[in-house]
Structure 1
């Protein structure tokens, strides 16, 4: 029942819009700060996360530290770019309400990467709010550009799939 209300109720869609815009603003501003601030470089953060994997009560699990050490740190320039522009794009998409579910999924993925790296900050709160967006699906973007984009895509994709299926049986 709660799931149905979350996915279909117009009042809930309005509340989700407030949550969506708040999350979008938070992501967008974090990305803009990294873009325009004094030389953001993920390497320091990544090195710090690996450092938190040792000791009696490590904040970072060994498997994650191994990933950071073998893949992320050697490619820290790529990760710097992905974090900075990922935050900006996720933020803009959530603010505009376009591809809301996908944007929320990418946002929660970044949140979990930060959490796995031993950083809390606002990430747990953002994860909880993002879960509501993900469960609500289309209703979370109903008062945004998804209201126009999703029906357009559904209509055109359905046409193409129907056409390809019909051609396959000829």
Structure 2
């Protein structure tokens, strides 16, 4: 019942828009700060996370630390590009309300990556608010560009030709 309320109530779409703007601004400014400084380097963060995967009660689980050590650190230059631009684009998508569900899904993925790496900061709050937006689906982007883009894409992708709609009998 609550999920249906999130997905269908037009007044909830207004509240979701406020949440989108808040989260979007957080992501946009975080990404733009990294992009505009030109000095973003994720290697220190990753090395710190790898260091925190040892001990009796590690802050970073070994499976995540091994991912960082074996996959992310060797390609840190790639991550130095996709992290700031990912943050910026998630923020832009949420503020404009375009591809809202995908944007929040990518934002949640980054939030969890930061938390898996042993940081807390604002990530748990962003995850909690992001879950409401994700569960609400289309309703979260109704006051935004999704109002027009999602129906357009549905028509474009699921358009049936006349032959498919009216097959000729044999």
Range class of TM-score, shorter chain: over 0.9
How many matched pairs?
A: 167
| TM-score relative to the length of structure 1 | 0.94
Runs of 4+ in 1 over 6 A off after TM superposition: none
- In the alignment, structure 1 residue 123 sits paired with structure 2 residue 116: no
The offset of 1:54, in angstroms, is 1.1
Partner of 1:33: 33
In structure 2, distance between residues paired with 1:134 and 1:58: 30
In structure 2, distance between residues paired with 1:107 and 1:45: 18
**Structure 1's 11 and 45: CA in aligned 2 closer, same or farther, altered over 3 A?**
same
Partner of 2:164: 166
The offset of 1:165, in angstroms, is 8.1
| TM-score relative to the length of structure 2 | 0.94
1:12-53: CA deviations, max 9, x gaps?
A: 000000000100000000001111226110111110110110
Which ranges in structure 2 are unaligned for 5 or more consecutive residues? Answer: none
Measured on the aligned residues, the alpha-carbon RMSD in Å equals 1.7
In structure 1, distance between residues paired with 2:83 and 2:37: 14
Partner of 2:100: 100
| 1:71-110 aligned within 5 A | 71-110=71-110
Which ranges in structure 1 are unaligned for 5 or more consecutive residues? Answer: none
